[in-house]
Structure 1
Amino acid sequence: MGTRRDAMKVAAAGMLGLPIAARAGAGAAPSGVCAQPQSAAPQWAQGNEGQRKADLGDGRYLNPIISGDYPDPTVLKDGDDYYMTHSSFDAAPGLLIWHSRDLVNWRPLGPALNEPLGTGFAVDLVKHGGRYFIYIPFMKAPWSKGLKDFANIYVIHADSIEGPWSDPVDLGIGGLIDPGHVVGEDGQRYLFFNQGKRVRLRADGLATAGPVETVYEGWRYPDDWVTENYALEGPKLFRRGGWFYLVSAVGGTGGPPTGHMVVASRARSVNGPWEHCPHNPIQRTKDKSEMWWSRGHATCVEGPGGQWYMVYHGYENGYSTLGRQTLLEPIEWTVDGWFRAMGGDLSRPLPMPPGAAVAHGFARSDNFAAASLGTRWSLYGSAPDEAGRVRYDSGALVLAGKGSGPANCSPLTQNVGDRSYEFSVELELVGEVTGGLLLFFNDRLFLGMGIDGTRMTSYRGGKASYWPEPAPPARKMHMRVVNQAQIVTFYYSLDGKNWTRHGVRSEVSGYNANTIDDLLSLRPALFAAGPGAVRFRNFRYRALP
Structure 2
Amino acid sequence: MPKTSRRDALKSAGLGLGLLFGGSATTVQTAPVSARGVEGQRRADLGDGRFLNPIMAGDHPDPSILKDGADYYMTFSTFEAYPGLIIWHSKDLVNWQPVTAALTRNIGSVWAPELCRHKGRYYLYIPTKQTKTPGSRTTSWVIWADDIKGPWSEPVDLNLPDHIDPGHAIGEDGARWLFLSGGDRVRLSDDGLSTIGEVEHVYNPWRYPAEWDVESFSPEGPKVTRQGDYFYLILAVGGTAGPPTGHMVIAARSRSINGPWEQHPRNPLVHTASLDEKWWSRGHATLVEGPKGDWWGVYHGYENGFWTLGRQTLLAPVTWSADGWFDFGGGDLSQPIKKPLPGPATPHGLALSDDFTTDKYGRQWNFFNPSADETGRIRRENGILHLTARGEAPSSSPPLLCVAGDQAYEFECDIEIDPGTRAGLLLFYDSSLYCGLGFDAQTFITHQYGIERGRPANPYGQRMRLRVRNDRQIVSFHTSADGETWKRFDRGMEVSGYHHNVRGGFLMLRPGLYAAGEGEARFRNFTYRAL
TM range (shorter): over 0.9
Is 1:296 aligned with 2:286? no
> Please, which of 385, 389, 412 is the counterpart of residue 373 of structure 2?
385
Is 1:402 aligned with 2:402? no
SS at match of 1:322: strand
Q: Which amino acid aligns with 2:339?
A: M
Tell me how far apart the structure 2 counterparts of residues 17 and 184 of structure 1 sit (CA, whole Å): 46
Tell me how far apart the structure 1 counterparts of residues 426 and 28 of structure 2 sit (CA, whole Å): 28
Q: Which amino acid aligns with 1:305?
A: K
Provide Cα deviations, 1:48-96, integer angstroms capped at 9, x if missing partner.
0001111101010000001010100000000111000000111110000
- In the TM superposition, residue 517 of structure 1 has moved relative to its aligned partner by 1.2
- Residues 348-357 or 501-510, more deviating: 348-357
| 1:104-183 alignment runs, 5 A limit | 104-145=94-135, 147=137, 151-183=138-170
Is 1:372 aligned with 2:381? no
> Please, which of 425, 429, 440 is the counterpart of residue 437 of structure 1?
425
| 1:34-433 alignment runs, 5 A limit | 44-145=34-135, 147=137, 151-354=138-341, 358-433=346-421
Tell me how far apart the structure 1 counterparts of residues 169 and 342 of structure 2 sit (CA, whole Å): 27
Tell me how far apart the structure 1 counterparts of residues 161 and 104 of structure 2 sit (CA, whole Å): 22
- In the TM superposition, residue 541 of structure 1 has moved relative to its aligned partner by 0.2
Tell me how far apart the structure 1 counterparts of residues 30 and 438 of structure 2 sit (CA, whole Å): 38
> How many residues are paired up?
506
Identity of aligned residues (%): 51
- In the TM superposition, residue 351 of structure 1 has moved relative to its aligned partner by 0.3
Is 1:542 aligned with 2:529? yes
Provide Cα deviations, 1:143-167, integer angstroms capped at 9, x if missing partner.
23162xxx21110000011111101
Runs of 4+ in 1 over 2 A off after TM superposition: 16-24, 355-358, 468-471
- In the TM superposition, residue 22 of structure 1 has moved relative to its aligned partner by 6.6
| 1:507-518 alignment runs, 5 A limit | 507-518=494-505
Tell me how far apart the structure 1 counterparts of residues 450 and 200 of structure 2 sit (CA, whole Å): 42
Aligned counterpart, 1:459: 447
- Flag the 1:319–1:502 CA change in 2: closer, same or farther, 3 A: same
Q: Which amino acid aligns with 1:291?
A: K
**TM-score (norm. length: structure 2):** 0.93
Aligned counterpart, 1:478: 465
CA contact (8 A) 2:28 2:346 kept: no
Aligned counterpart, 1:10: none
- In the TM superposition, residue 421 of structure 1 has moved relative to its aligned partner by 0.6
Provide Cα deviations, 1:386-438, integer angstroms capped at 9, x if missing partner.
11111111111111111110111110000000111110000011242110001
SS at match of 2:159: strand
SS at match of 1:465: strand
CA contact (8 A) 2:29 2:47 kept: no
Aligned counterpart, 2:32: 23
- In the TM superposition, residue 309 of structure 1 has moved relative to its aligned partner by 0.7
Structure 1: tracts of 5 or more residues without a match: 1-15, 25-43
CA contact (8 A) 2:439 2:458 kept: no
CA contact (8 A) 1:440 1:523 kept: yes
Tell me how far apart the structure 1 counterparts of residues 28 and 372 of structure 2 sit (CA, whole Å): 35
Aligned counterpart, 1:29: none
Tell me how far apart the structure 2 counterparts of residues 168 and 456 of structure 1 sit (CA, whole Å): 42
Tell me how far apart the structure 1 counterparts of residues 199 and 264 of structure 2 sit (CA, whole Å): 26
SS at match of 1:141: coil
SS at match of 2:253: strand
- In the TM superposition, residue 171 of structure 1 has moved relative to its aligned partner by 1.4
Tell me how far apart the structure 1 counterparts of residues 119 and 418 of structure 2 sit (CA, whole Å): 51
Q: Which amino acid aligns with 1:113?
A: L
Structure 2: tracts of 5 or more residues without a match: 1-24
SS at match of 2:158: strand
**TM-score (norm. length: structure 1):** 0.91
Provide Cα deviations, 1:451-491, integer angstroms capped at 9, x if missing partner.
1111001111111114x444315111110011112111100
Q: Which amino acid aligns with 1:407?
A: S
| RMSD of aligned Cα (Å) | 1.4
Q: Which amino acid aligns with 2:347?
A: A
Q: Which amino acid aligns with 1:114?
A: T
- Flag the 1:153–1:355 CA change in 2: closer, same or farther, 3 A: farther
Is 1:521 aligned with 2:497? no
- Flag the 1:134–1:494 CA change in 2: closer, same or farther, 3 A: same
Aligned counterpart, 1:28: none
Tell me how far apart the structure 2 counterparts of residues 22 and 470 of structure 1 sit (CA, whole Å): 51
- Flag the 1:345–1:539 CA change in 2: closer, same or farther, 3 A: same
Q: Which amino acid aligns with 1:463?
A: I
CA contact (8 A) 1:116 1:384 kept: yes
Provide Cα deviations, 1:484-522, integer angstroms capped at 9, x if missing partner.
121111001122222111111111111111111121111
- Residues 509-518 or 419-428, more deviating: 509-518
Tell me how far apart the structure 2 counterparts of residues 89 and 19 of structure 1 sit (CA, whole Å): 32
- In the TM superposition, residue 201 of structure 1 has moved relative to its aligned partner by 0.5
Provide Cα deviations, 1:508-537, integer angstroms capped at 9, x if missing partner.
111111111121111111001123211100
Tell me how far apart the structure 1 counterparts of residues 282 and 106 of structure 2 sit (CA, whole Å): 27
- Flag the 1:393–1:470 CA change in 2: closer, same or farther, 3 A: same
Tell me how far apart the structure 2 counterparts of residues 399 and 284 of structure 1 sit (CA, whole Å): 45
- In the TM superposition, residue 355 of structure 1 has moved relative to its aligned partner by 6.0
- In the TM superposition, residue 23 of structure 1 has moved relative to its aligned partner by 3.0
